[in-house]
Amino acid sequence: MTAHLKIRDLELIVALHEEGTLTRAAKRVGLTEPAFSKRLQVVEQEVQARLFERNHAGASATASGRSFVTHAEESVHAYHRAVYEAREAKRGEHHKLRIGASPYLPPTLIELLRSTELRVNRNFSIEIVTEYSLELLSQLQRRRIDLALVIAPPEVAAVTTRCVAIDPFVIVFREGHPLASKKSTTLSEVSQYPWILLSRTVHRHVHDLILQRMVAEESKPNIVHHYIQAEQVIAFLTDDSVLAWMAPTDAERMAHRGLTCIPLLDEYIRLETHLAAMADNKSPLVSEYVRTFVKRMEDQRPPEQLSLPMG
């Protein structure tokens, strides 16, 4: 890193590499697209190399960019760890946990997060931060939160995760749909009908996984709508041929509104909920909380596992 670049510049480069488009990267770091583009040009001028190839389809790192990103990630993580440890030293002890959770988590799971008590570290408080899963991972790496419950997290070397629940997608449709008499369904069956699919904005890895499975099955999905909020699905289910992909908790709400819900049985397309923390976080409070929370989840799993949504 040259003397003229700042940590903010490195975060900008990392964001563009991870998000793949200028629009999403700018939104992630809180800049307008013109301001983001201008700063990117400054960085490229400073390092005297083109770091990204940009076109209407997005942005992809060049060979120079991939090399730069590797070291930029290390520098960003080192900086945030330094800030985190300095603040910890100033406080003397860490008595507050900030835990990230999806806005779509069921109330039972939020209560489990909030009510977990520890034997050793008794005097602490919990602050719940709600955001989509991938944004929570980003906040975790920036040390803005201590832990996060995330869905289908991508592998990140700096982050360690523990799977606490596995749930199927649920297929939702009107009572007159051809699948209405079935107790469960398969990917080959749902591929025969028009889809309402979660927006890639909600969770791009889960969204892409579904489409990749369709490619593997040599089939092409007929996607008629994308949704962000579960309530939008009701307006999109306009006839008996359309079906919607939903998480269990969202699907349960739809069932109360007269729609039919059945699980999708597929060994690859599943909603895995992980408790995530930074791999280098040595906080005794964080360690004890993780052990206690996981134990409570395991104790509650039989006979019925908690249904955890995505987001």
The answer to which of 56-60, 233-237, 261-265 has the lowest mean pLDDT is 56-60
Q: What angle do CA 70, 97, 132 make, to 5 degrees?
A: 55
302 or 24: which carries more pLDDT confidence? 24
Maximum CA pair distance of the chain?
66
> How would residue 311 be classed by pLDDT, with cut points 50, 70 and 90?
very low
Q: What angle do CA 251, 257, 258 make, to 5 degrees?
A: 95
Q: Does 92 score more than 60 pLDDT?
A: no
Q: Which domains does the chain have, with CATH numbers?
A: 7-76 (1.10.10.10), 93-166+271-300 (3.40.190.10), 170-268 (3.40.190.10)
168-196 residue pLDDT tens = 999 999 999 999 999 999 999 999 999 99
Mean pLDDT of 252-262: 89
CA–CA gap between residue 196 and residue 223 (Å, rounded): 6
> How would residue 309 be classed by pLDDT, with cut points 50, 70 and 90?
very low
Q: How many CB atoms lie within 10 A of CB 253?
A: 17
Q: What is the DSSP string of 51-87?
A: -EEEETTEEEE-HHHHHHHHHHHHHHHHHHHHHHHHH
Q: What is the DSSP string of 85-131?
A: HHHHHHHSS--EEEEEE-TTS-HHHHHHHHH---SS--S-EEEEEE-
pLDDT of residue 88: 62
Percent of the chain having pLDDT more than 90?
A: 45
pLDDT of residue 239: 92
pTM of the predicted model as reported, rounded to 2 decimal places: 0.67
Q: In what order do the strands lie in the sheet with 270-278?
A: 125-130, 96-101, 147-151, 270-278, 159-168
CA 70 to chain CA centroid, Å, is: 22
Mean pLDDT of 53-80: 86
pLDDT of residue 306: 43
Which of 104-108, 155-159, 215-219 has the highest mean predicted lDDT (pLDDT)? 215-219
Eight-state DSSP code of residue 264? B
Can you list the alpha helix ranges (DSSP code H) found in the chain? 7-19, 22-29, 33-47, 63-91, 107-115, 133-141, 187-190, 204-216, 231-236, 248-255, 284-300
The residue among 57, 51, 48, 55 whose CA lies nearest residue 15 is 51
pLDDT of residue 305: 45
CA–CA gap between residue 266 and residue 211 (Å, rounded): 13
261-296 residue pLDDT tens = 999 999 999 888 899 999 988 888 899 999 999 988
> How would residue 1 be classed by pLDDT, with cut points 50, 70 and 90?
very low
Q: What is the rounded average pLDDT for all residues in the chain?
A: 86
